[in-house]
């Protein structure tokens, strides 16, 4: 019997794994075993069809995926039978092409590769040379635009000017690219674009060079951009043995160049394509799948499939209405503790998924207060964010003038002319006279190594600290005072300057500060706190900023917090999708831009991470920009098959309010025509 028949493949998987020649599109639904199919197919070609490993090229998006694929393939094969097999990322493969052929493009073979930091430095220097105001046109925005252009195969020149719609951006791009080439350097995006260029300038030579690869396999095809698509077309110029695996329903990276039309149009691009749908799901219960299917069915730009399982229906999808974000966090934590107790589950079995990282703050605070371990994936912990940490360090210094870690962090943040040399003089004087740094600054008139201008700047800083330290200690509420500190210190002005006219970037920084204000407000409203003062607040958050490392076992057993974009490819027995509200998911920007279908795919991805139980939560009121606003449940909840869901009252003291919310939603559903 063929080894492939001993792999336990279902009928569709078997067809995909044993397809011999010609184009093959495997539409692999979430949890349908796509990696098993693609690795078995490679092994089958080598072991049973006697295709040389040298003839097979498999492309992925991450090094991790490439390693896993290679390990699994070789695990299926006798030793040395897969010799010559090429498995790697798109970028690694392009480096391989360029190392031997980049001379055709006027580069020298021993080129260097710029990382993102190097790219930013060069773009900044070029913009300075061109006398461009970096505050009006931020270099990071320019870098993003150039990356987009390269992924779309737009070269410098008139083409770029038309594509950018901006002569200045096109000029920067032209200078940037000519500088790279002059230094014999390429950046990460060049790897794709220049590889495609090789085929354009030396088609016959390149066709001969890549002719060894007669079988091409591509994972996560829905995530390919235009440059990757064009490269694949070049590689299959003389044959059509291409197998792509992907899921149009999980195409969620349009914002970074992914083009869903690549997978939607695959049959048109490759006539005679055999299409296989992997619809049997090995991850989730029947009710979770039916709920996810009913939502994604509302998209029109899709190939269409219907996930199913031979397993149990399981629990209904549980929808928890809550009154606000605090109630939402309390309700989810209550459920987590109940699951721990009743199901004997570990914290590592649970994940909380958000549309944006701004939603993590109430959970982080509650987890810390209750001693629940957690990990943030795809983002920095709230109290580790630069804006939050900076202002907390102001508060720490005002509470304790000898907190020198806090002092050194914010002494020149924002920039106030107290630079490295001045700080070194303060440190040297403190060491010589056995004084604390802040005491030296208070007595700066006696530091003979400083000039009068420097002493004045230090004095202004110390006056700020002393003035607001007194205000914080006497204020009925700390929030207005903290707002004053942000303004009076020049910090707000610094954020605006750093944003360089980018309103979204400035608002993002402001949102984190608003979340800090909210954190203080909630602390002051906490009736269980004995003393509502600066010291008590800093004591509370010390749980979150403490650098003491946990033991490895404890860190593994932790609740995972992540964005919807970060959760793709992962799975957890218990998943909580938080903030399922209009304006959040789908996001307001997507509603305005008419891209709700990608938001629906994003929600679908989040839902299909759940294996055993799925919770969806929404808040009737949520603080945004420091102010409370009313929220409606997302239209996506309305799209779920009612037979798959159960409305439950959260385990908080506000459950009565939640019953009212359920009734309100039902009225809303009727008004929407649901």
Q: Which residue has the tokens 């674009």?
A: 193
Mark whether 86 is an active-site residue. no
User: In what order do the strands lie in the sheet containing 374-377?
Assistant: 374-377, 559-563, 350-354, 572-577, 610-619, 317-322, 645-647
Task: Indicate the helix (H) or strand (E) that contains 354.
Answer: strand 350-354
Cα 265 from chain centre: 27
Q: Enter the pTM of the model.
A: 0.77
Dihedral angle computed from the Cα positions of residues 95, 97, 101 and 106, in that order, rounded to the nearest 10 degrees:
-40
Residues 6+ apart with CB under 8 A from 583: 591, 631
Q: Smallest Cα–Cα separation from 51: which of 77, 14, 24?
A: 77
User: Is residue 13 among the annotated active site residues?
Assistant: no
In terms of phi and psi (left: phi > 0; alpha: psi -120 to 50; beta: otherwise), the region of 446 is alpha
**Which contiguous run of DSSP H or E holds residue 489?**
none
Confidence of residue 640 (pLDDT cuts 50, 70, 90): very high
Give me the catalytic one of 161, 187, 190, 220: 220
Catalytic residue from among 13, 226, 236, 250: 250
pLDDT tens per residue, range 25-72: 999 999 999 999 999 999 999 999 999 999 999 999 887 888 899 999
- Check 190, 197, 219, 515 and give the catalytic one: 219
Note if 259 is an active site residue. Answer: no
Strand-by-strand arrangement of the 215-218 sheet = 86-89, 56-60, 215-218, 242-246, 24-28, 274-278
Query: 4, 70, 10: which is closest to 219 by C-alpha?
Result: 70
Asked if the model's pLDDT at residue 82 lies above 60, the reply is: yes
Is omega for the bond preceding 488 within 30 degrees of 0, making it cis?
Answer: no
432 is catalytic: no
Q: Is the pLDDT of residue 543 over 60?
A: no
Catalytic hit among 230, 389, 609, 622: 609
Q: Which of 35, 89, 356, 521 is catalytic?
A: 35
| CA distance linking residue 78 with residue 100, whole number of Å | 31
User: Is 546 a residue whose pLDDT tops 50?
Assistant: no
Q: In terms of pLDDT, which residue wins out, 384 or 272?
A: 272
Distance CA 8, CA 1 (A): 13
219 classed as catalytic = yes
Q: From the candidates 34, 305, 361, 457, which is the catalytic residue?
A: 34
pLDDT score of 626 more than 90: no
- Percent pLDDT > 70 in the chain is 92
Is 486 within 8 Å of 391 (Cβ atoms)?
yes
Question: Is 228 a residue of the active site?
Answer: no
pLDDT at 669 over 60: no
């Amino acid at each position: 019997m063929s080894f492939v028949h001993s792999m336990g493949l279902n009928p569709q998987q078997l067809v995909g794994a044993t397809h011999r020649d010609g184009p093959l599109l495997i539409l692999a639904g979430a949890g349908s075993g796509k990696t098993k199919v693609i690795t078995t197919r490679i092994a089958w070609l080598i072991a049973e069809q006697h295709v040389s490993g040298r003839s097979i090229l498999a492309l992925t998006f991450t090094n991790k995926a490439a390693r896993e694929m290679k390990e699994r393939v070789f695990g299926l094969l006798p030793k040395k039978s897969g010799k010559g097999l090429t498995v790697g990322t798109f970028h690694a493969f392009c480096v391989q092409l360029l190392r031997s052929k980049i001379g055709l493009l006027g580069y020298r073979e021993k080129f260097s590769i710029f990382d993102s930091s190097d790219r930013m430095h060069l773009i900044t220097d070029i913009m300075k040379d061109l006398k461009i105001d970096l505050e009006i046109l931020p270099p990071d925005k320019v870098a993003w635009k150039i990356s987009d252009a390269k992924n779309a195969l737009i070269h410098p020149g008139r083409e770029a000017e038309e594509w950018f719609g901006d002569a200045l951006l096109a000029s920067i791009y032209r200078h940037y690219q000519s500088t790279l080439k002059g230094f014999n350097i390429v950046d990460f995006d060049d790897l794709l674009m220049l590889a495609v260029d090789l085929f354009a300038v030396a088609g016959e030579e390149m066709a001969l060079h890549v002719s060894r690869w007669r079988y091409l396999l591509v994972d996560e095809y829905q995530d390919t951009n235009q440059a990757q698509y064009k490269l694949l077309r070049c590689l299959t110029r003389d044959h059509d043995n291409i197998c792509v695996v992907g899921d149009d329903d999980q195409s969620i990276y349009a914002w970074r160049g992914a083009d869903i039309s690549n997978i939607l149009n695959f049959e048109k691009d490759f006539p005679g394509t055999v299409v296989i749908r992997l619809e049997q799901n090995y991850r989730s219960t029947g009710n979770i799948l039916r709920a996810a299917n009913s939502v994604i069915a509302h998209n029109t730009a899709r190939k269409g499939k219907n996930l199913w399982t031979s397993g149990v229906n399981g629990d209904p999808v549980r929808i928890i209405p809550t009154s606000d974000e605090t109630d939402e966090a309390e309700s989810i934590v209550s459920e987590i503790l109940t699951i721990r107790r009743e199901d004997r589950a570990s914290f590592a079995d649970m994940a909380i998924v958000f549309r944006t990282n701004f939603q993590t703050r109430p959970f982080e605070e509650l987890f810390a207060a209750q001693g629940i371990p957690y990990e943030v994936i795809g983002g920095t912990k709230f109290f580790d964010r630069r804006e939050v940490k900076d202002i907390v360090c102001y508060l720490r210094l005002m509470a304790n003038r000898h907190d020198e870690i806090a002092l050194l962090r914010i002494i020149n943040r924002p920039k106030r002319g107290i630079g490295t040399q001045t700080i070194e003089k303060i440190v040297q004087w403190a060491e010589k006279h056995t004084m604390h740094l802040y005491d030296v600054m208070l007595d700066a008139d006696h530091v003979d190594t400083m000039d009068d201008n420097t002493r004045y700047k230090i004095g202004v800083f110390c006056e700020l600290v002393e003035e607001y330290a007194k205000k914080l200690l006497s204020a009925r509420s700390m929030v207005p005072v903290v707002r004053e500190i942000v303004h009076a210190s020049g910090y707000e002005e610094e954020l605006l300057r750093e944003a360089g006219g980018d309103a979204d970037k400035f608002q993002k920084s402001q949102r984190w500060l608003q979340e800090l204000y909210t954190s203080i407000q909630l602390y002051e409203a906490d009736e269980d706190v004995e003393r509502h003062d600066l010291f008590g607040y800093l004591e509370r958050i010390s749980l979150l900023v403490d650098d003491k490392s946990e033991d490895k076992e404890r860190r593994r057993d932790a609740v995972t917090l992540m964005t919807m974009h970060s959760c793709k490819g992962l799975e957890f027995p218990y998943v909580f999708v938080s903030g399922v509200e209009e304006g959040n998911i789908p996001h307001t920007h997507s509603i305005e831009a008419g891209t709700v279908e990608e938001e629906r795919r994003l929600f679908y991805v989040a839902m299909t991470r759940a294996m055993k139980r799925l919770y969806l939560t929404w808040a009737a009121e949520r603080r945004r920009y420091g102010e409370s606003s009313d929220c409606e449940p997302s239209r996506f909840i309305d799209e779920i098959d009612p037979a798959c869901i159960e409305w439950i009252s959260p385990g908080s003291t506000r459950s009565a309010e939640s019953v009212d919310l359920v009734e309100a939603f039902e009225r809303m559903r009727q008004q929407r025509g649901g």
